[in-house]
């Protein structure tokens, strides 16, 4: 019985406090940007990285997606991503 009285008292005390507390509205103006990660640092699309005498560029994982996931892709000397050639045939094992 004492527990029930304490519970009702706490609810009655806390209700006015909850009613007067303003709502915390959080609006985020920016959409999270896709990045490539290396050694805990974020790099934007087009960033170049020299690793093991090979050049890598931060580019989309799939060549035909403009807003796809970014990954480190091997690059040529000019910094353009080296993509595998697309064949007209689909191979099924």
Per the domain annotation, does 20 fall within a domain?
no
Per the domain annotation, does 17 fall within a domain?
no
Per the domain annotation, does 3 fall within a domain?
no
Per the domain annotation, does 8 fall within a domain?
no
Q: Which domain holds residue 45?
A: 31-51+66-83
The chain-wide mean pLDDT, for the chain, equals 78
Provide the pLDDT for residue 89: 73
Q: Which residue has the higher pLDDT, 88 or 72?
A: 72
Per the domain annotation, does 47 fall within a domain?
yes
Per the domain annotation, does 25 fall within a domain?
no
Per the domain annotation, does 76 fall within a domain?
yes
Q: What's the 3-state SS for the chain?
A: CHHHHHHHHHHHHHHHHHHHCCCCCCCCCCCCCCCEEECCEEECCCCEEEECCEEEEEEECCCCCCCCCEEEEEECCCCCECCCCCCCCCCCC
pLDDT in tens, 25-47: 666 666 667 899 999 999 998 99
Per the domain annotation, does 72 fall within a domain?
yes
Domain count, the chain: 1
d(CA 32, CA 53): 32
């Amino acid at each position: 019985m004492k527990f029930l009285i304490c519970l009702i008292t706490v609810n009655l005390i806390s209700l006015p406090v909850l009613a007067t507390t303003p709502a915390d509205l959080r609006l985020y103006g920016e959409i999270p940007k896709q990045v490539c990660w290396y050694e805990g640092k974020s790099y934007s699309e087009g960033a170049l990285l020299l690793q093991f005498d090979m050049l890598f560029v931060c580019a989309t994982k799939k060549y035909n997606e403009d807003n796809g996931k970014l990954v480190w892709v091997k690059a040529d000397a000019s910094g353009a991503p080296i993509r595998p050639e697309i064949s007209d045939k689909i191979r099924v094992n």
